[in-house]
Amino acid sequence: MKDFDLIIIGGGRASNLAIKAGKSGLKVALIEKSKLGGTCPNRGCVPSKLLIGYAHTARAIKESSRHYIKSQINEINVQEIFDHTNNYVSKIDAGYESRFNENVEIFRGIGSFVSNNVVLVNNEQITAPKIVIATGTKPFDVPHKDAWSSDNIFPLLGKIPESITIVGSGFIACELANFFDAVGIKTKQIVRSKKLLSNEDAEISELFKEQFIKNVDVVFNTTVEDIKYENNSFELSLANKNGEVTSHTSEALLYATGRKSNTDSLNLQNTSIEVDDRGFIKRDEMFETSAPGVYVVGDAAGEHMLQHAAAYEVNHLGKTLLENSTTPLKFKYMPHAVFTDPEIASVGLSEEDAKRNNVEYVVSLTNWLASAKAMSTKLDYPRTKFLVNPKTFEILGCHLIGPESSTLMHQILAVMHIDNDIRHLKDMLYIHPALSEAILPAAVQAVGEVNKYNG
* Domain boundaries of the chain, sorted by first residue: 2-138+260-323, 148-257, 343-453
Distances (CA, A) of 453 to 30, 59, 283, 363: 56, 42, 41, 10
Spatial strand order in the sheet of 118-121 = 2-3, 124-127, 118-121, 112-115
Question: What pLDDT shows up at residue 48?
Answer: 76
Yes or no: domain 343-453 corresponds to CATH 3.90.1150.10: no
Mean pLDDT, consecutive 10-residue stretches, the chain (455 aa), reads 96 94 97 84 74 93 95 94 88 89 96 97 97 94 92 84 96 94 97 97 98 98 96 95 94 94 94 96 97 97 91 96 94 94 97 97 95 92 98 98 97 96 96 93 97 92
Q: Is the pTM of this model over 0.75?
A: yes
Yes or no: say if 120 and 111 are a contact pair by the CB < 8 Å rule: yes
Question: What pLDDT shows up at residue 169?
Answer: 97
Question: What pLDDT shows up at residue 376?
Answer: 93
Extended strands (E) in 266-413: 294-296, 336-338, 344-348, 362-367, 383-388, 395-401
Question: What pLDDT shows up at residue 86?
Answer: 87
Nearest to 323 by CA among 11, 7, 21, 8: 21
**Measured between alpha carbons, how far apart are the two ends of the chain, in Å?**
72
Question: What pLDDT shows up at residue 154?
Answer: 82
Please give the CATH topology (third level) of the domain spanning 148-257.
Answer: FAD/NAD(P)-binding domain (3.50.50)
Q: 312: helix, coil or strand?
A: helix
Yes or no: domain 2-138+260-323 corresponds to CATH 3.40.50.300: no
Q: How many residues comprise the chain?
A: 455
Say yes or no: do domains 2-138+260-323 and 148-257 share a fold.
Answer: yes
Please tell me the distance from the alpha carbon of residue 432 to that of residue 424, in angstroms, as a whole number.
Answer: 17
Yes or no: say if 395 and 411 are a contact pair by the CB < 8 Å rule: no
Which helix (H) or strand (E) is 438 found in, with range? Answer: none
Please tell me the distance from the alpha carbon of residue 103 to that of residue 114, in angstroms, as a whole number.
Answer: 24
Count of C-beta atoms within a 10 Å radius of residue 233: 14
